[in-house]
């Protein structure tokens, strides 16, 4: 495998954007390109992630081409997935030896539709969608099972929310942040029992852009190169009754393939949009109980669907590049109840 | 397990999702203009082509459009098609002419409908003008232009508009 | 290319307007199991799955591959979902091939599909967001003006499209999987069919089909051991450009020309017209064959229509095009690009049955999408590159 480094990263997050996709994506592309030290036209491959259903428009990604520098024509691909999977495709492209650098972008606008209802359309169309269970309810079912099985409490979940919001104060891109008292959080009503509002993600609009390069180029462009040491993704069966919802076998497998356990981890950025999912993921990834998770505040504090997985990887990159840790695990998820998971191990030089 | 007589071949699950679309900054100027019978495009700077309707960026340079520029409601048909296929969300009576019209002052063509023109007289290069809806019907919507209609001006040659087809 | 990749299994469904005899999982399995059978493998032999389709709204299911994961043998495996508009079937295969080229996996299953009958694709294509007025109905409304511009600049005779359609419709009669088959098809029938989007007639347009296409890809040593001769991947290319800007040539887009040039360079092809034995390209409306002949470098600018006229692209011509009957005969949108690749690969494997081109050893598969903005292409060879 070729050594691939993350060269630059930029993101935007807002509760509801008044700008359209082109208008809020373009400045983030410029920022990431400027930080990379490369010219846009020197970056050889482009890969993006987004969702038509999220935008409420077929071919939503086509318009985004206006904002990313697609003239002269570019070598480009798009996944109908989180940007983290676009990163995977770009990493593969560099592994083929055809290119040495790539720009990855993803964007999401969760504000135009009722997100919990939109993503319900990911369920079995013949037997489940007819009931139209919204995403928070499905997560609630998973949370209930997990609490029963693990002996964890709603207080444990509230503590995760309080910690995430506290950590998010240092993150200019986080939307929900501040000091929250666990007692007060627990006094709030349920949204979908056992989950309260603080257990559920703050959905946001935004864009995420990353530039990566093969070893030589990455070394030349980075003060402290940050390497993608392992990256893998796996999927579990969809039917909610088929798998044990209190575990995430696909995350466990991806973590093992990405080599998470081969050395000490300093911190993790996990795409856990619901509080209980952080606990499921800690277990699946084999992370120590006291390991620092989501110093950025994580997807709980701002979740731009289809960008938030790539954000976790980018947040981990920035922390390592700044010398705040040497080895980190970053994670992205898709589907209901952590069905599909990508795990990425980053290491600073 | 197989019971052919009782096999379900299809079920109907109505799906309805409502979205509040965001026009964006540049398109908002354009839509506000339509309320006043004005066609307002945008460009990334002096000398740059005017995008109508603007989507936010100049696609060739990927620079944000920053300047609003009013263009004419007259233009040239750069290409067209006569549509004879019905579609649920199309309000025009069949057949009708869909045109890509390059408005005077604009850098790109815009899709709309041509009426008041016999089908066999539609041609590339013909001059047309917007026919606006009545004042009380004006809204921030491209439908404020009811249709385009031919005007008595000489045709433009294909070579002059080839860039825009 | 560091690692060679061979196509060792190909499977297609019967294409039809409404495959209500199968569910979505059933449709995908039909193609996937046929591809595995061709390769004499099972789902267990596959390391990863790469899947593609056009907009999710065509079936009304968001990220349907998540729901389909176990039906296509992806449980516990990497599953990637590609979407690059109409070119998606081609780019899905390209992404799957890159997993082998990169040496990441040994065997990859790739599937592209569409089951338009589950929803309303015309609705999906003509969604009317606020502020705008829907003026073009479906893809034909969008592409017809480009065809007008092509006729204007090339001076091509009006019946070029009819001749192309006649050729493809005759070819479709030789293909057991083709959707639209008109046994006694002739020139008059096409010429007299209703004009839908001037200058596109009904029988010059693609149908709307349900269907899936799958391929099993393998790395060099495993491809050599495959039960049937593999189709070796000689080159792949993808290019994209924005939709509309002053000076954009949407009739003969730069992205397509760049992709073709890159492809031939990788494959060591100097003269594509001579060196490529046959091509299966994305022609949803008859006129696009002439247009793409130019874009792909088989003909000089404004000369592509002559190839149609001279019969060069007929099954017995010097460069047969769309031997399968093409998109004009079967159009399961998300699958259409991969069907082109599959046909091109079948030709070098000698598997194309009645529409086999004698001695085909090097072939081109091609797909495009968006407003002629997205291109994906592949060269297959009977011999290793």
First to last CA, chain B: 59
Identify which of B101, B28, B30 has the alpha carbon closest to the alpha carbon of residue C135: B101
Q: Average pLDDT of B142-164?
A: 90
On whether any CB of chain C is under 8 Å from the CB of A306, the answer is no
What distance in Å separates the CA atoms of residue C220 and residue C321, rounded to the nearest whole number? 29
How distant is the Cα of C62 from the closest Cα of chain B, in angstroms? Answer: 12
Range B122-143 average pLDDT: 95
Residue C189: in which H helix or E strand, if any?
Answer: helix C187-191
Q: Of chain B residues 112-151, which have a CB less than 8 A from chain A?
A: none
Please write the tens of the pLDDT for every residue from C262-274.
999 999 999 999 9
Question: Which two tokens mark A259?
Answer: 């080599």
Contact C127 A58 (CB under 8 A): yes
Interface contact C124-A57, CB threshold 8 A = no
Which residues 312-341 of chain A have a CB within 8 Å of chain C? 334-336, 339-340
Q: How confident is the model at residue C329 (pLDDT cuts 50, 70, 90)?
A: very high
Identify which has the larger pLDDT, B63 or C139. B63
Q: Which residues face C374 on adjacent strands?
A: C240, C369
Which chain B residue is nearest to residue A20, measuring alpha carbons?
B24
Q: How many residues make up chain A in this entry?
A: 349
Mean pLDDT, range C124-133, rounded to an integer: 58
The predicted pLDDT at position A241 comes to: 87
CA angle C25, C30, C32 (to 5 degrees): 90
User: How far, in Å, CA of C304 to CA of C186, rounded?
Assistant: 22
Q: CA angle, corner C334, sides to C330 and C338, nearest 5?
A: 75
Q: Which of C77, C98, C258 sits opposite A73 (nearest CB)?
A: C258
- Could you tell me what percent of chain C has a pLDDT over 70? 95
| Angstrom distances, CA of residue A280 to CA of A200, A219, A224, C253, C321 | 15, 36, 32, 49, 54
Q: Does A109 touch chain B (CB under 8 A)?
A: yes
pLDDT reported for residue B89? 67
Would an 8 Å CB–CB cutoff place B21 in contact with chain A?
A: yes
Structure tokens that stand for A222 in this block:
């980075």
Residue C253's pLDDT is 97
Report how far Cα C37 is from the mean position of its chain's Cα atoms.
22
CA separation for the pair A204, C385 (Å, rounded)? 48
Does the pLDDT at position C133 exceed 80? no
A292 and A267 Cβ atoms separated by less than 8 Å: yes
Length of chain C: 385
Q: Tokens standing for A301? A: 């504090």
- Encoding tokens for residue A128? 């489940």
Close Cβ partners of C384 (under 8 Å, ≥ 6 residues apart): C4, C220, C232
Dist CA B101 CA A44 (whole Å): 35
β-pairing, A45-49 vs A101-109, is parallel
- What is the reported pLDDT for B17? 84
Residue C374 reports pLDDT greater than 60: yes
Please write the tens of the pLDDT for every residue from B109-120.
998 999 999 999
**Per-residue pLDDT, B159:** 83
Tokens of A165: 């919001």
pLDDT-derived band at C129, boundaries 50, 70, 90: low
Look at A75 and C239 and tell me if their CB atoms are within 8 Å.
yes
- Answer whether A146 touches C (CB < 8 Å): no
Contact call for residues C83 and A89 (beta carbons, < 8 A): no
Q: Which chain C residues have a beta carbon less than 8 Å from that of A129?
A: 61
Instruction: For residue C20, give how far its alpha carbon lies from the nearest alpha carbon of chain B (Å).
Output: 6
Q: Chain A closest CA to B61's CA: distance in Å?
A: 7
Higher-confidence residue: C230 or B16? C230
d(CA C328, CA C180): 8
Digit-coded pLDDT (tens) for C104-117? 999 999 999 999 88
Q: Which residues of chain A have pLDDT under 70?
A: none
**Do you find a cis peptide bond into C199, omega within 30 degrees of 0?**
yes
| C370–A contact, CB cutoff 8 A | yes
Q: Provide, rounded to the nearest whole percent, the portion of chain B with pLDDT above 70.
A: 96
Neighbours of C185 (CB within 10 A): 18
Beta-bridged to residue A196, according to DSSP, are: A190
Question: How many other C-beta atoms lie within 10 A of the C-beta of residue A114?
Answer: 15
Average pLDDT over residues B32-61: 94
Mean pLDDT of B6-22: 83
Are the Cβ atoms of B20 and A26 closer than 8 angstroms?
A: no
Cβ-Cβ contacts under 8 Å, A21 against chain B: 24
- Chain A contact partners (≥3 CB pairs within 8 A): B, C
The whole-number pLDDT of residue C263 equals: 98
The whole-angstrom separation of Cα A341 and Cα A325 is 23
* pLDDT of residue C138 exceeding 80: no
Contact B111 C251 (CB under 8 A): no
The pair of three-digit structure tokens given for residue C154, joined into one six-digit string: 């090339």
| Residues comprising chain B, all counted | 165
User: Distance of CA A42 to CAs A37, A101, A238, B107, Å?
Assistant: 10, 8, 41, 28
Q: Which of A313-317, B62-66, C125-129 is predicted least confidently?
A: C125-129
R_g over Cα of chain B: 20
Mind telling me how many Å the CA of C24 is from chain B's nearest CA? 11
Q: Which burial class, exposed, middle or buried, applies to A197 when counting CB atoms under 10 A from its CB (0-12, 13-18, 19+)?
A: middle
Mutation for testing the B interface, residue in A19, A21, A70, A135 having most B CBs under 10 Å: A19
The angle at the Cα of C202, spanning C200 to C206, to the nearest 5 degrees, equals 90
- Sign of the four-CA dihedral C250, C254, C257, C260: negative
> Which of C1-10, C32-41, C71-80, C326-335 is predicted least confidently?
C1-10
Q: Do A56 and B17 touch (CB under 8 A)?
A: yes
Over chain C, what is the mean pLDDT? 94
Which letter does DSSP use for residue A111 in this model?
S
State residue A6's pLDDT score: 98
Q: Which of chain B's residues have a Cβ under 8 Å away from the Cβ of A18?
A: 22, 24-25
Q: A279 or C60: which carries more pLDDT confidence?
A: A279
Burial A259-291 (b: 16+ CB within 10 A, else e): ebeeeebbbbbbbbbbbbbbbbbbbbbebeeee
The sign of the CA dihedral A178, A183, A188, A189 is: positive
The structure tokens listed for B115 are 């009426």
Which has the closest alpha carbon to A170: A292, A266, A281, A287? A292
C134, C293 in Cβ contact below 8 A? no
Produce one character per residue of C342-371: b if its CB has 16 or more CB atoms within 10 Å, e if not: bbbbbbbbbbbeebbbeebbbbbbbbbbbb
| Burial status of residue A27 (CB atoms within 10 A of its CB: 0-12, 13-18, 19 or more) | middle
Between chains, do B62 and A67 touch, taking CB under 8 Å as contact?
yes
Residues of C whose CB is below 8 A from B89 = 123, 126-128, 134
Contact assessment for residue A38 and residue A101, using Cβ atoms and an 8 Å cutoff: yes
Please provide the average confidence, as pLDDT, over all residues in chain B.
90
pTM over 0.95: yes
Q: Please report, for residues A115, A234, A300, the alpha-carbon distance to residue B104 in angstroms, rounded to integers and kept in the order given.
A: 42, 54, 50
| Letter string b/e over residues C73-91, b meaning 16 or more CB atoms within 10 A of that residue's CB | bbbbbbbbbbbbbbbbbbb
The 3-state secondary structure of A255-295 reads HHHHCHHHCCCCEEECCCCCHHHHHHHHHHHCCCCCCEECC
Residue B165: band (very low, low, confident or very high) from pLDDT cuts 50, 70, 90: low
Question: In whole angstroms, what is the distance from residue A70 CA to residue A91 CA?
Answer: 20
User: C-alpha angle with apex A67: A66 to A68, nearest 5 degrees?
Assistant: 105
Q: Which residues from chain B sit within 8 angstroms of residue A109, using beta carbons?
A: 22
Residue B86's pLDDT is 78
- Residue C352: which residues within 8 A CB-CB, separation 6 or more? C323, C324, C343, C346, C360
H or E element in which residue A314 lies? helix A308-321
Cβ-contact A119, A87 below 8 angstroms: no
* In the predicted structure, residue C147 carries a pLDDT above the cut 80: yes
Cα first-last separation, chain A: 17
- The overall longest dimension of chain B from CA atoms, in Å, is 74
pLDDT of residue A271: 98
- Collect all residues of chain A within an 8 Å Cβ-Cβ radius of residue C371: 62
Q: What percent of chain A stands above pLDDT 70?
A: 100
Nearest to C65 by CA among C101, C115, C102, C104: C115
> pLDDT grade, residue C313 (50/70/90)?
very high
* Weakest mean pLDDT among A41-55, A107-121, B60-74, C339-353: A107-121
Q: Can you give the pLDDT at residue B54? A: 92
Minimum-distance CB partner of B57 among A67, A126, A130: A67
Q: What is the pLDDT of residue C142?
A: 84
* Whole-angstrom distance, CA of residue A200 vs CA of residue A183: 17
What burial class does residue C170 get, using C-beta atoms within 10 Å of its C-beta: 0-12 exposed, 13-18 middle, 19+ buried? middle
Q: Any alpha helices (H) in A168-264, and if so which ranges?
A: 182-187, 215-221, 249-258
pLDDT value at C248 more than 70 = yes
The answer to whether A254 and A340 are in contact (CB under 8 A) is no
**Cβ-based neighbours of C274, under 8 Å, separated by 6 or more:** none
* pLDDT score recorded for residue C163: 98
pLDDT at residue C124 in the model: 58
Q: How confident is the model at residue B162 (pLDDT cuts 50, 70, 90)?
A: confident
- Name the residue among C223, C156, C180, C183 with its Cα closest to residue C383: C223
Kindly list the partner chains of chain B, i.e. chains with 3 or more CB atom pairs below 8 Å.
Answer: A, C
């Amino acid at each position: 495998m070729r050594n691939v480094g993350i060269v630059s990263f930029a993101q935007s997050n807002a509760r509801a954007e008044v700008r359209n996709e082109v208008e809020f994506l373009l400045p983030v592309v410029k920022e990431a390109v400027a930080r990379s030290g490369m010219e846009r036209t020197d970056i050889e491959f482009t890969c993006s992630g987004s969702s038509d259903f999220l935008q409420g428009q077929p071919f939503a990604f086509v318009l985004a081409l206006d904002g990313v520098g697609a003239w002269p024509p570019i070598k480009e691909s798009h996944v109908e997935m989180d940007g983290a999977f676009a990163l995977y495709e770009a990493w593969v492209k560099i592994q083929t030896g055809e290119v040495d650098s790539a720009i990855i972008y993803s964007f999401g606008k969760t504000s135009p539709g009722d997100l919990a209802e939109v993503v319900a359309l990911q369920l079995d169309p013949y037997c489940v969608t007819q009931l139209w269970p919204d995403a928070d309810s499905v997560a609630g079912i998973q949370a209930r099972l997990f609490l029963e099985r693990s002996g964890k409490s709603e207080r444990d979940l509230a503590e995760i929310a309080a910690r995430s919001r506290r950590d998010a104060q240092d993150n200019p891109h986080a939307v929900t942040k501040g000091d929250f008292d666990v007692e007060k959080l627990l006094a709030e009503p349920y949204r979908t029992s056992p989950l309260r509002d603080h257990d559920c993600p703050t959905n946001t609009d935004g864009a995420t852009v990353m530039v990566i390069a093969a070893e030589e180029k990455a070394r030349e462009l980075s003060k402290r190169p940050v390497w993608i040491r392992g990256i893998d993704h796996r999927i579990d069966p969809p039917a909610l009754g088929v798998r044990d919802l209190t575990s995430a076998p696909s995350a466990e497998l991806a973590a093992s393939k990405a080599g998470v356990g081969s050395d000490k981890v300093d911190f993790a950025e996990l795409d856990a949009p619901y509080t209980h999912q952080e606990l499921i993921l800690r277990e699946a990834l084999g992370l120590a109980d006291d390991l620092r998770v989501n110093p950025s505040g994580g997807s709980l504090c701002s979740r731009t669907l289809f960008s938030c997985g790539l954000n976790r990887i980018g947040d981990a990159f920035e922390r390592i590049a700044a010398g705040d840790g040497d080895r980190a695990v970053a994670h992205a998820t898709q589907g209901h109840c952590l069905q599909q998971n990508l795990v990425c191990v980053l290491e600073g030089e | 397990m197989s019971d052919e007589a009782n096999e379900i071949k299809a079920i109907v699950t109505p799906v309805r999702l409502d979205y509040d679309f965001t026009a964006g900054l540049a398109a908002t100027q354009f839509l506000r203009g339509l309320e006043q019978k004005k066609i307002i495009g945008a460009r990334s700077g002096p000398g740059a082509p005017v995008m109508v309707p603007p989507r936010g960026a100049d696609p060739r340079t990927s620079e944000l459009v920053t300047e609003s520029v009013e263009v004419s409601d007259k233009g040239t048909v750069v290409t067209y098609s006569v549509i004879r296929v019905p579609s649920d969300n199309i309000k025009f009576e069949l057949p009708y002419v869909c045109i890509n019209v390059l408005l005077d002052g604009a850098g790109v063509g815009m899709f709309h409908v041509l009426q008041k023109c016999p089908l066999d007289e539609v041609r590339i290069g013909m001059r047309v003008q917007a026919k606006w809806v009545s004042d009380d019907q004006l809204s921030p919507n491209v439908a404020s232009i009811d249709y385009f209609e031919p005007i008595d001006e000489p045709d433009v040659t294909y070579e002059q508009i080839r860039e825009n087809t | 290319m560091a690692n060679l990749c061979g196509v060792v299994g190909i499977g297609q469904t019967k294409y039809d307007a409404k495959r209500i005899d199968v569910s979505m999982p059933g449709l995908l399995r039909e193609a996937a199991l046929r591809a595995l059978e061709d390769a004499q493998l099972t789902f267990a032999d596959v390391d990863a799955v790469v899947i593609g389709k056009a907009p999710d709204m065509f079936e009304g299911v968001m990220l349907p591959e998540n729901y389909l994961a176990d039906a296509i043998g992806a449980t516990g495996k990497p599953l990637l979902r590609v979407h690059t508009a109409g070119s998606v079937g081609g780019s899905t295969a390209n992404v799957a091939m890159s997993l082998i080229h990169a040496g990441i996996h040994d065997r990859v299953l790739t599937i592209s599909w569409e089951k338009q009958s589950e929803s309303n694709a015309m609705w999906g294509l003509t969604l009317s967001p606020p502020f705008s007025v829907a003026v073009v109905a479906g893809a034909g409304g969008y592409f017809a003006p480009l065809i007008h511009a092509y006729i204007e600049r090339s001076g091509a005779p009006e019946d070029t499209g009819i001749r192309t359609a006649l050729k493809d419709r005759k070819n479709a009669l030789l293909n057991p999987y083709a959707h639209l088959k008109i046994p006694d098809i002739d020139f008059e029938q096409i010429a007299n069919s209703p004009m839908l989007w001037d200058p596109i007639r009904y029988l010059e347009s693609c149908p709307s089909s349900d269907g899936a296409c799958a391929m099993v890809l393998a790395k060099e040593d495993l491809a050599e051991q495959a039960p049937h001769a593999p189709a070796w991947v000689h080159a792949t290319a993808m290019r994209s450009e924005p939709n509309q800007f002053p000076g954009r040539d949407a009739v003969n887009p730069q992205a397509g020309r760049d992709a073709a040039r890159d492809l031939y360079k990788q494959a060591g092809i100097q003269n594509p017209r001579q060196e490529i034995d046959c091509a299966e390209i994305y022609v949803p409306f008859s006129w696009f064959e002439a247009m793409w002949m130019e874009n792909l470098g088989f003909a000089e600018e404004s000369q592509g229509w002559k190839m149609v006229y001279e019969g060069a692209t007929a099954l017995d011509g010097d460069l047969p095009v769309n031997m399968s009957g093409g998109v004009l005969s079967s159009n399961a949108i998300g699958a259409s690009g991969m069907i082109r690749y599959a046909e091109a690969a079948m030709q070098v494997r000698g598997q194309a049955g009645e529409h086999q081109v004698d001695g085909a050893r090097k072939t081109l598969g091609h797909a495009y999408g968006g407003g002629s903005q997205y291109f994906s292409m592949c060269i297959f060879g009977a011999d290793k590159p």
